[in-house]
Structure formats: structure tokens, C-alpha cells
Amino acid sequence: MRLQKYLADAGVASRRKCETFILDGRAKVNGKVITELGVKVEEGDSVEFDGKLVKLIDTKYYYMLNKPVGYITSVTDDRGRKTVLDLLPDNKHRVYPVGRLDYKTSGILLLTNDGDFAYKLTHPKHIITKTYIVKVEGILSDGAINELINGVQIYDYVTKPAKVAKINQTDNSTTLQIVISEGKNRQIRKMCNAVGADVLSLKRVAIGNITLNDLPIGKMRPLTADEIKHFQ
């Protein structure tokens, strides 16, 4: 199998993230630093990541985390910030986050050591909806909401149509539920900024049909068999 898939199946990170690690020279095969994609790992090969031997994991694990604000979605951080892995109990198996939630966003985040599962959730060819609750400053007009629904210009691309529902409004803020079918970096924040709305808070409450429900903030639980099957 290709090195990036081997690393993902060994629980290092998602396949796409492992590709970045390889290009950065953090992986070795049989003692040789690998800096290009496409290298295959054969049976009996020795594979290292960051100087440590890594092996394939037979048992796959799948978890849901209710991420708090103030944690980055990464395995490590060179700036010393807290990562979502700091929230895992010490006895949890080696898993990594699937996709991302930015530092100031809370809500549902999936973690696994199954590279194929992570690939299906993150590759653009697999359309997985994500549902967010976003609170913006001020009163958002119907025209602005229609723009969010139909697609807004963000730099060099236009967002795909979204489902948007107003769920609360006060004199000072508007709260929306937004469902998107793509996963651009910080997309909800950028969509809101594109219609002149400053985001006060943002929480992801569902990925596909898997919902956060009443999972406490900062806590995690295993996915059910039906939830895992939903993405397979």
C-alpha cells in the first residue's frame, strides 16, 4: 500500500494530512527519509514517523468529541496551543481528528484510526453535509439570508447552495442554522463575512445524519455501529 495510507491506517493522521507529513520529510521507510508521494510499503518494511516506529493497527476505533472553543484540530501544534487530543483520556487508543474545526468553533468532531473512514469523510468527491448553529451580530436581512442560500463569492470561488433557517433574532443578534455540503476552510465564517455579518459564536451540531445531541462539552463517546455504517 502507499505510504500515506499506511501512516493513516497506523493511526498517525488522516491520509491527506499524512501526505503533507511525507512532503515535509517526517516519514522513513527502511531508514530512508521519504519526501515524495507514491512510495509503496511492502510486507516486512520498517516505517517510522518522527523517529518512532509505526505499525498497522488491526482494531479500528471511532469516536465523537464535543470540541470546546480554545482547542485546535490537530495532532500536534508547533506553537504550543492545546489540541483536541489533549481532551482524550490517557488510556484512549491512538486516534486523530477527521476534518477540522477552527480554534474559535465548538461542536461535533470525529476521531478515528481508520484511514479509509477518514478519507470518505474528507475527500471532496464524497458529499457529506455539515450542520452549524451560528450567531451573528445585529439583525440579518432576508436579502442577506437569501445570498447565503444561493451562494456567495469568497475570494475566487462561489459557495454551493446552502440550507439556511433563522432560529432566533433579537435587537442585537441573529441566530441561524446553516447546512453546507462542502468543507472549505472557515467556510461559515467567510460566508457570513461576505454578507456583512460578524460571527459571535459558531457550533457544528451534525455531520451527515450523526448529531451531537446532549454530549457534554469537552467529552467524547464511541460511535454506534449504525453511525459508523452511515459513512461506509
Residues 138 and 198 in one domain: yes
Residues 21 and 118 in one domain: no
Alpha carbon 62 to its chain's center: 14
In CATH, what number is assigned to the domain containing residue 222? Answer: 3.30.70.580
In CATH, what number is assigned to the domain containing residue 20? Answer: 3.10.290.10
Residues 76 and 136 in one domain: no
What is residue 185's predicted lDDT score, i.e. its pLDDT? 86
pLDDT digits (tens, 9 = 90+) for 5-60: 899 888 888 888 899 999 999 999 999 999 999 899 998 899 999 998 988 877 88
Residues of the chain with pLDDT under 50: none
What is residue 122's predicted lDDT score, i.e. its pLDDT? 83
One-character DSSP codes across 137-186: ESPPPHHHHHHHHH--EETTEEPPP-EEEEEEE-SSEEEEEEEES---TT
DSSP letter (8 states) at residue 101:
-
Residues 119 and 218 in one domain: yes
What is residue 141's predicted lDDT score, i.e. its pLDDT? 94
Residues 121 and 215 in one domain: yes
The domain in which residue 36 lies consists of 3-53
Cα–Cα distance, 27 to 120 (Å, whole number): 23
In the residue annotation, 9 being an active-site residue is answered as no
What is residue 216's predicted lDDT score, i.e. its pLDDT? 97
In CATH, what number is assigned to the domain containing residue 189? Answer: 3.30.70.1560
What is residue 91's predicted lDDT score, i.e. its pLDDT? 55
Residues 66 and 47 in one domain: no
Distances (CA, A) of 182 to 65, 86, 151, 174: 21, 28, 12, 23
Identify the active-site residue in 45, 58, 102, 198.
102
Residues 121 and 165 in one domain: no
